[in-house]
Structure 1
Amino acid sequence: MFEEISAPVEGVTEKVVLKETKPPLDSRIGKDAPFQFGQRVLADDNDVWNHNAWDHAEWGEEQKVEAETLISKQYENPVEEFDKKLYNGNPAKYWDIFYKNNKENFFKDRKWLQIEFPVLYEATKADAPPVTILEIGCGAGNTMFPVMSQNENPNFRIIGADYSKNAVQLVKNSASYNPEIAHACVWDLSNENLELPETVEPESVDIIIMVFVFSALAPEQWVHAVNNLQKILKPGGQILFRDYGRYDLAQVRFKKGRLLDDNFYIRGDGTRVYFFTEEELRDIFGKFFQEERVATDRRLLVNRKKQLKMYRIWMQAVFKKPLEN
């Protein structure tokens, strides 16, 4: 099993580390031993300081009010209008710089996808039907390569598309890149001309993966992105989605000079990030897609030394394109 451990720092793009986990042993109670994903639930508040992380964290009015209070202070010092135009005018520039500064060894393979989205790995089985997978925001290939490494399907194809040319080059330069079944290309998900990624035909993709991708778009770009998604996806095809949720620790920690717009921020490296609610996701994707699952993944992180409680909140969803429009 794998657990997603995140260490957000205000103004710095979040680095995600994947830690292999095993079922808990009684002798490990009170220690930070690995544990089975999703099984550490806080049943008694008196036990909160026993571990560094708790799954399925309860979220009450007290936590919401505290988060809203901190976020309200961000409105006192938003991003200056000149800088806002600068960041929104050429967002690809900052992602290019990010991938130039952070090579492929900075990122960890997202093997947790096998737990969260098993349909990806079902598509790699030897007896699986022909399948085409498109990962949007492929980065350095940390979703593509774990999936490819398990493939036994002779009719398997995966395409990685990213806003950043430097990210795409990292994928192509990797020893794991196999052009016989994979293709990587530069592509803007939010382009207004309905231009599709290289080698991708209309309604030709069975599965679209978007992990921490949609949050990089400005709200006015969402409509263009969804138009492109519905043009690409086959009837019956699925979108696998994971991204940042409203009141996540990363949002609450932003200080002055980072707020671009409501729930939309600029990090210290110039990249943008939005924090979603379930209702927003239903509004964004509901025009073209059926909701298979929309959920909020909350985790309570604990700093036992400082006696601090910190909440991580992610949105996870699966949308399906109807067989008939």
Structure 2
Amino acid sequence: MADCSAAAAPGPGDGKRRQFGSRFLSDPGRVFHHNAWDGVQWSAEQAAAAARKVEENSAQRVRRELQVDYEINAHKYWDDFYKIHENGFFKDRHWLFTEFPELRPSQKQNHLKDLLSEDKSEILECRSSEVGAGLITGEQHVRSSDSIRFLEKTVTQKLSDLQLSADGFPGSSATYRILEVGCGVGNTVFPILQTNNDPGLFVYCCDFSSTAIDLLQANSAYDPSRCLAFVHDLCDEEKSYPVPENTLDIIIFIFVLSAVVPDKMQNAINRLSRLLKPGGMILLRDYGRHDMAQLRFKKGQCLSDNFYVRGDGTRVYFFTQDELDTLFTTAGLEKVQNLVDRRLQVNRGKQLTMYRVWIQCKYRKPPLPGTG
């Protein structure tokens, strides 16, 4: 599944992107000086106008027989979406590591990486000193360095092969497991794999659309030794996930839960919460009530309260914080974060302003007693 946020933010290392709520518009005359402003406060008049617009575009509902079609053929509409847009619709979400630092390598993982780098450096330094002493030739040194790299790659592949073939499930020997639900063509998965070099990491990713999974697996960045992509309908209670309960550290929802029929959301969250380890977390970012996208819908596109169908047949729901809190706490999770991101996006070329409302959540499975 896909999002329409188009959140093209600078990468994690360029110092330009900070967590939302850090760039405030204090002077309305400077609104077109940046392409986005955080923490925008709505006036009472603006909030009332948004409520009237929603009431207006919700007055006429989609006919029942068409609603049934949108549900039965939901996979077809998403397949068609990806056949049209392929992998050129969204930017890779490097902003994830600012908003969700849980996806970065831990300090322990970084320390291990540093130790491995130091060991490799010592080996190369020894080889270099041997070259200087005339014990081995420069050509032999180059071949030796190549051999080290080849050995590293071989060992890593062997460990990955063992991990994939171990008894139980793919990634069973991993020490940190992430699942993205509604992965699309990999705009979240690939930044994670490229940024987090922890050898114990394994990423699972699934999508409703087989076309999306085909595109993801065809990407040159897809690494089956560290990632398993599969087609899955999170609302299908008869179809199990490829991991047992209590095994995942992180589950990611990025503009995905909103595509689910509201009365199926709770069961989907309940099933996913059982996959989390004690202390594991669900990370979510999705559409908030009265987002610009909701206000733009015309009469006749409303399926039910705050649930709409787009022109391409895909559907979207607009949440409140309380609704999401109820979904997660009912599933036995405890709140870590539940924030509204009210953002003013600006088209400086056309001198247009667009008000976005997104919700960001983190909910944790209670840790075992005595583990913190």
Q: Same fold (TM over 0.5)?
A: yes
CA 1:140–1:36: 2 relative to 1, 3 Å: closer
> What fraction of aligned residue pairs are identical, expressed as a percent?
42
Are the equivalent residues in 2 in contact too, given 1:126–1:153 (CA < 8 A)? Answer: no
Equivalent in 300, 315, 322 of residue 359 of structure 2: 315
The aligned runs of 1:1-325 (5 Å cut-off) are: 14=4, 16-20=6-10, 36-37=17-18, 38=20, 39-123=22-106, 125=110, 127=112, 130-193=175-238, 195-198=239-242, 200-287=243-330, 288-302=332-346, 309-324=353-368
* 3-state DSSP of counterpart to 1:191: coil
Mapped partners of 2:366, 2:17: distance in 1: 35
Are the equivalent residues in 2 in contact too, given 1:136–1:213 (CA < 8 A)? Answer: yes
Matched letter for residue 148 of structure 1: L
Matched letter for residue 131 of structure 1: Y
CA 1:179–1:35: 2 relative to 1, 3 Å: closer
Mapped partners of 1:125, 1:81: distance in 2: 54
Task: State the 1:275 CA deviation.
Answer: 0.4
Tell me the TM-score normalised to structure 2 length. 0.75
Tell me the TM-score normalised to structure 1 length. 0.85
Matched letter for residue 16 of structure 1: A
Structure 1 stretch displaced more, 222-231 or 299-308: 299-308
Q: Which residue does 1:29 correspond to in 2?
A: none
State the Cα deviation string for residues 100-155 of structure 1 (Å, max 9, x = none): 11111332111110111011012564639920100101110111111111232121
Are the equivalent residues in 2 in contact too, given 1:186–1:197 (CA < 8 A)? Answer: no
Matched letter for residue 127 of structure 1: L
Task: State the 1:196 CA deviation.
Answer: 2.6
Task: State the 1:49 CA deviation.
Answer: 4.8
Matched letter for residue 244 of structure 2: E
Mapped partners of 1:13, 1:211: distance in 2: 7
Matched letter for residue 4 of structure 2: E
Higher helix share: 2
Mapped partners of 1:55, 1:81: distance in 2: 39
Higher radius of gyration, 1 or 2: 2
Mapped partners of 2:198, 2:33: distance in 1: 45
State the Cα RMSD in Å.
2.6
Matched letter for residue 60 of structure 1: S
* 3-state DSSP of counterpart to 1:104: coil
State the Cα deviation string for residues 45-99 of structure 1 (Å, max 9, x = none): 4444544431111123222101011111112332122211111223112111111
- Name stretches of at least 5 consecutive residues in structure 1 with no aligned partner: 1-11, 23-33
* 3-state DSSP of counterpart to 1:286: helix
Task: State the 1:249 CA deviation.
Answer: 0.2
Task: State the 1:36 CA deviation.
Answer: 4.5
- Name stretches of at least 5 consecutive residues in structure 2 with no aligned partner: 114-173
* 3-state DSSP of counterpart to 2:8: strand
